[in-house]
Amino acid sequence: MPSSDLIVHRPEGLYCPPGDFYIDPWRPVSRAVITHAHSDHARMGSAHYLAHTDSAGTLRNRLGADIALQTLAYAEVIDHHGVRVSLHPAGHVLGSAQVRIEHAGQVWVASGDYKLEDDGTCPPFEPVRCHTFITESTFGLPIYRWPSQPALFADINAWWAANAAAGKASVLYAYAFGKAQRLLHGVDASIGPIVVHGAVEPLNAVYRAAGVALPPTLRVTDPGLTKADLKRALVLAPPSAAGTPWLKRFGEHSDAFASGWMLVRGARRRRGVDRGFVMSDHADWPSLQKAIGATGAERVIVTHGSTEVMVRWLCEQGLDAQVFKTEYGADDNEDDANTMVPSAPAEEPGTQPEAAP
């Protein structure tokens, strides 16, 4: 690998030699730049953290209130050992950022995780021109194409309204940080009350504090909540709440799971829910191609997801492409990576996504 590379792979994580810092390291380091607060990208134990201002709440929540944290606004530039560092919207979750690094005439961008469609809960993805782009590829297979936001929420609202009319609660499982708030922001709150699990509400509070409009949410223990209310309610819970006593309070209910993996029938069946809504905070296959093209990068490094398929496609486009083996990739698999990885569809031989670590 040429010694002029601005980011190299080290056992601790992705390292910037001239700046002497890491991006989303998976082991404790002295200086860490964090793209976003999902647990596989933001880990405990580093001496100093740099992240976007809107990541402060979730990072302190997860890594400890007393971490040494420096924050930047989007596009604000700092100079660190002669390396210009700035953060740019990734459109993934609140505070998510691409990291732009400039040194000796070279520009590298590390994407962290990203998606292109604006969901209203964080500033949308902005392409940043660079020589080398480090991208995720969580859903980097041609089968992954997301429905539009309006189509997705029309489906969810229709499911909720039909259950409410039938006197059944609608239990919707979704990742507690990012997905749950995106669902709250997008659903039609006039259909009925919204009840959230205890794992979801602290993150709602962080989003509200950052100025994101979320409808009122109730806890199941709320004294004002009647049995009749529960039969019309939308219930947002992390997947780990499935099968727990907490769910018994809702009696007979319909359940659904919101995830990009729901596009694949096998994943839906293994989850054992009534409905699957195809919803991801990662880019789908066309968006990955569009985002990579918009950077103008000649060299692309793929960090996680369907890395081999993506590298093959990039090489076919005439780009210099390679893989960095990282420890990212758990955030769209929640607590159950094995059951969430779909089998390769018959028409796409040899394109089975790799299991998340």
Q: Which of 13-21, 82-90, 263-271, 326-334 is the region at the interface with Zn ion (rule: CB under 5 A)?
A: 326-334
Check the CA dihedral 334-195-90-21 and report its sign: negative
User: Measured from the CB atom, is 160 or 207 closer to Zn ion?
Assistant: 207
CB 96 → Zn ion: shortest distance, Å? 7
Least CB distance to Zn ion at residue 177 (A) = 9
Tokens matching residue 213 = 């409009």
Question: Which one, of 38, 14, 43, lies nearest residue 110 by Cα?
Answer: 14
Q: Which lies closer to Zn ion via its Cβ, residue 285 or residue 328? A: 328
Residues in contact with Zn ion, total (CB under 5 A)? 4
With beta carbons less than 8 A apart as the criterion, state whether 275 and 159 touch: yes
Distance (Å, whole) CA 69 – CA 189: 36
Nearest-angstrom CA–CA distance, 282 and 288: 9
Q: Rounded to the nearest whole angstrom, what is the least distance from the CB of residue 24 to Zn ion in the complex?
A: 8
24 binds Zn ion (CB under 5 A): no
> Among 123, 331, 340, 353, which residue interacts with Zn ion (rule: CB under 5 A)?
331
Site for Zn ion in 185-204 (CB under 5 A): none
Q: Rule CB under 5 A: is residue 255 a binding residue for Zn ion?
A: no
Residue 225, Cβ neighbours under 10 Å: how many?
A: 16
Choice between 274 and 308, CB closer to Zn ion: 308
Please provide residue 218's backbone torsions phi and psi, each rounded to the nearest 5 degrees: -115, 155
Residue 23: helix, strand or coil by DSSP? strand
Concatenating the DSSP letter of every residue in 285-346 gives HHHHHHHHHHHT-SEEEEEEESHHHHHHHHHHTT-EEEE---S---TTTTT-HHHHSPPPPT
Alpha helices for 232-283 (secondary structure H):
265-271
Contact characters 281-320, Zn ion, x per CB under 5 A: ----------------------------------------
Contact code string over 103-132 relative to Zn ion, x by CB under 5 A: ----------x-------------------
Quick one: 132 or 280, whose CB is closer to Zn ion?
280
Cα torsion 147, 328, 205, 212: sign: negative
Site for Zn ion (CB under 5 A): which residue of 38, 100, 168, 197? 38
d(CA 328, CA 14): 11
* Shortest separation between residue 205's beta carbon and Zn ion, angstroms: 20
In sequence order, the 6+-apart residues with CB closer than 8 A to the CB of 161 are 188, 191
Q: Which is nearer to Zn ion, 24 or 102 (CB)?
A: 24
DSSP state of 147: P
Under the binding rule (CB under 5 A), the answer on residue 328 touching Zn ion is yes
Q: Which is nearer to Zn ion, 38 or 271 (CB)?
A: 38
Nearer to Zn ion, 114 or 250 (CB): 114
Q: Which positions touch Zn ion (CB under 5 A)? A: 38, 113, 328, 331
